[in-house]
Amino acid sequence: MDTFNDVETNNSTKRLTNQERQMIFEALLQESNGGKLKRGTIRNIASLFKTSVRTVQRIWKLAAITSTDGRVDVSRRFSKRCGRKRVDIDFTLIMAIPLRRRTNIRSLSSEMKVSKSTLHRRIKEGAIRPHSNALKPQLTDQNKQVRLNFCLSMLEPESLNSNPTFMSMFNVVHIDEKWFYMTKECKKYYLHPQEEEPLRTCKSKKFIVKVMFLAAVARPRFDCSGNPTFDGKIGIFPFVFKEPAKRSSKNRMAGFACN
């Protein structure tokens, strides 16, 4: 007979019904010989019923203990609610905790004296609401007035008296500058097992070369069927130019065109 120290083949925590437990016992009894099981029988039965080896071992041991007058009772001993009880949490205490101590689950669990796993389950249930807080500009009354005037300037002048409508902006192009680093401090590649690792160098990782681009976009266009005819992307153009090197160096010869 397998010992209780055997490694379980299935880590499932499925709770068997009394009927399934009886079927497991009958299968074990059929494979037994004089009350003894062949090596590997418990493992095979556990795999057949998709449960753990330890569960099958307990059923077989329980059958030997409760066997009286030819009757065997392998039903569950916990017919009512069993297991670890749910932790009661007063969620109103969260509002009294400073916001700086509520930025992650670890600090919040420390303040509430509750485990991190319990808080994580409550978040999944919706009892605790995660919130991503964006920093907003502090506008003065003058700033608000300027922004309001800009919004009003986007209205069609002919529609102000009847039904104010914003301009279509089909004749407007938005442009802005964008900086890009030439490379990253750390990049991930997928290489062949026999391929050499690439060597990337720079003078200082704190001052990686950047390039400025000019991006231009406009409002997308659609036909009468809703299919896009213009995606609104005009282009992105680098602010670089090429000129010949004025003098020779270890990197290039004089007259060589470089950025």
* Per-residue pLDDT of the chain in tens (259 residues, 90 and over written 9): 444 344 444 444 567 888 888 888 888 888 888 778 888 888 988 888 888 898 888 888 888 777 666 677 787 776 667 777 888 888 888 999 999 999 999 999 999 999 999 999 999 999 999 999 999 889 999 999 999 999 999 999 888 888 999 999 899 999 999 999 989 899 998 998 899 999 998 888 888 988 899 999 999 999 999 999 999 999 999 887 778 888 888 878 888 776 6
- What's the rounded Cα separation, in Å, for the pair 12 and 8? 10
- Helices 105-112 and 116-125 meet at what angle, rounded to 10? 110
pLDDT at 85: 80
pLDDT at 29: 84
Instruction: Please give the order of strands across the beta sheet that includes 233-238.
Output: 173-181, 210-218, 233-238
Give the predicted TM-score (pTM) of the model. 0.44
pLDDT at 60: 86
Look-up: residue for tokens 């407007």? 172
pLDDT at 123: 93
Instruction: Return the bridge partners of 243, or none.
Output: 258
pLDDT at 32: 85
The answer to whether 64 touches 74, Cβ cutoff 8 Å, is no
pLDDT at 14: 67
Q: Hey, what are 163's tokens?
A: 């039904």
